[in-house]
Amino acid sequence: MIVKVIVDKSLQIGFPETPWINEIDFTHATGTITDRFFNFWYKEPKKYSTILLTELLGNIDHNDTDAIYELSDIDWHLLKDHHKEKFVKDRNILISNSNEAFLYGLQFTSSYHLQEKITIDVNNDFFKMSELASKFVVVWDNFDTTWNKKYPHINFVRTDSFLLEAIAHVDNVTDRWIKDVNGTVTNTSKTKGGSFRDYAPWIEKIYNFRVGYEQFIEKNLSNINDKKHDFVCLFGFQKPHREDLWNKMQVENMQEFNIVGSYDKRFQNALYEPTDTNTFVRDSKVIINDRSVAYEWITDAKVWISNETWWEGSNAGLKHITEKTYKPIQYGMPFIINGSYGSLEFLEELGFKSYRDIFGDYIVEDDFIETNKNIINILKDMNNIVDRNEKYLRACALHNWRRLLQMSIDQRLNSVEAQIWN
């Protein structure tokens, strides 16, 4: 049983005055494994108990050895040391941020400046007193295995929350969860992810898309060499590794002839903006949802450039694969990643093709500037690369789609649970 611990604010320190604090949206700071992860994805929410931390601390004998006590990472970070020591001692503890590659309080960063490569300083006090626990588990969306070496007594478990989104997409655009019950079509999917109608309503215009979506992908890949744009590259909000790639594209005049754009108006707007999709408000502006995909991005571009959320920076350990990379997989496109070192290998571990045998090992450890030089060189030679490898590119993209089709929500959730209790 996972027991969610409710923390009274009187037991916590105030927020420290550090630069990273100012950039955090604390409404999303409770990415707990209980209600924000398991209960979101399961059709029937799992049952978890709760307990007040004051009640737990008030009775030293109140320790269920068959339970694991969960705090969000922000609650753990802010808990006063003397309460933290009493809470941890001889108990099974779980610290969670199920949707992020970082832990609030573990690291902080200065404002983003391209001229200065970002260094994220690690707060070594974050895991202070973790050794006192019978079991100490950290659940987050991070595949950086160096943390296991830094803290061998801690069980680090990744959630792959964005992979779950991609699987949910497959659930929604195929017939694998559609069952004919007494002549009635019933959707039996256990996923609660956003419908493709919110992000790619054009899918419904594909003839018989429930059974024909893979055929759409196959047909789209069959003319990859004839597509009018070499690539689609969405930048999102300004970050140093993205800004550097944008500047390099401008030097080569690539943005003029390809699908290049961003929600951030410092970058040129993308061609073929999505319409009739969900929007959200950020900085008092209505913005197209970042899951939205225009039809022409898929049909008119040869390769997808994924500008991931993080490059790892020095000592940062911020590594995860987000919707930015799973989009080309779920829409059946070859891809290149502007992101963390190890991303390609991580995808291969999941059973996907990374295209390393075509594009090479272009991601340079701890150096987004060199990484982007490599990406630009690939893009400059894209026509020749596609010419030489068209059949193989097509095979890899289809393999990735079919690999996604093999996966299930239950499979991934059961894996996370098993690792927590390992």
State the Cα–Cα distance between residues 127 and 342, nearest whole angstrom. Answer: 24
Instruction: Give the pLDDT means over successive 10-residue stretches in the chain (422 positions).
Output: 88 67 54 82 80 86 85 89 93 92 69 52 79 95 89 94 92 73 56 72 88 93 94 88 93 92 77 77 69 92 95 77 96 96 96 97 93 97 95 96 91 91 84
Q: Are 85 and 114 in contact (CB under 8 A)?
A: no
Distance CA 187, CA 203 (A): 17
Chain-centroid distance of CA 277 in Å reads: 21
pLDDT of residue 272: 87
- Distance, CA of 311 to CA of 343 (rounded, Å): 10
Enter the DSSP assignment of 45: P
Cα separation, 231 vs 229, whole angstroms = 5
Terminal CA-CA length for the chain: 14
* Relative orientation angle of helices 240-251 and 368-380, to the nearest 10 degrees: 40
Task: List b or e across 374-406, with b for residues whose CB sees 16 or more CB atoms inside 10 angstroms.
Answer: bbbebbeebeebbeebbeebbebbbebbeebbe
Report d(CA 180, CA 187) in Å as an integer: 9
Model pLDDT, residue 62: 75
Query: Does residue 329 contact residue 402 with C-beta atoms inside 8 Å?
Result: no
Q: What is the pLDDT of residue 312?
A: 75
pLDDT, position 261: 87
**Which amino acid makes up residue 395?**
A
> By C-alpha distance, which of 202, 261, 251 is closest to 231?
261
The DSSP output letter for 9 is: G
Distances in Å between the Cα of 216 and the Cα atoms of 211, 229, 398 are 10, 19, 11
Task: Please state, in angstroms and rounded to a whole number, the distance separating the CA atoms of residues 105 and 108.
Answer: 7
φ, ψ for residue 294, nearest 5 deg: -80, 150
In order, the DSSP letters of 303-340 are EEEEE-S---TBT-------HHHHHHHHTT--EEEES-
d(CA 302, CA 296): 11
Other CB atoms closer than 10 Å to residue 297's CB: what's the count? 27
Task: Name the residue among 31, 3, 1 with its Cα closest to residue 87.
Answer: 3
How remote is the C-alpha of 396 from its chain's centroid? 21
What is the reported pTM?
0.89
- The domain limits of the chain are 2-159, 176-407
Cα–Cα distance for residue pair 10/52, rounded to 1 Å = 12
Distance CA 213, CA 209 (A): 5
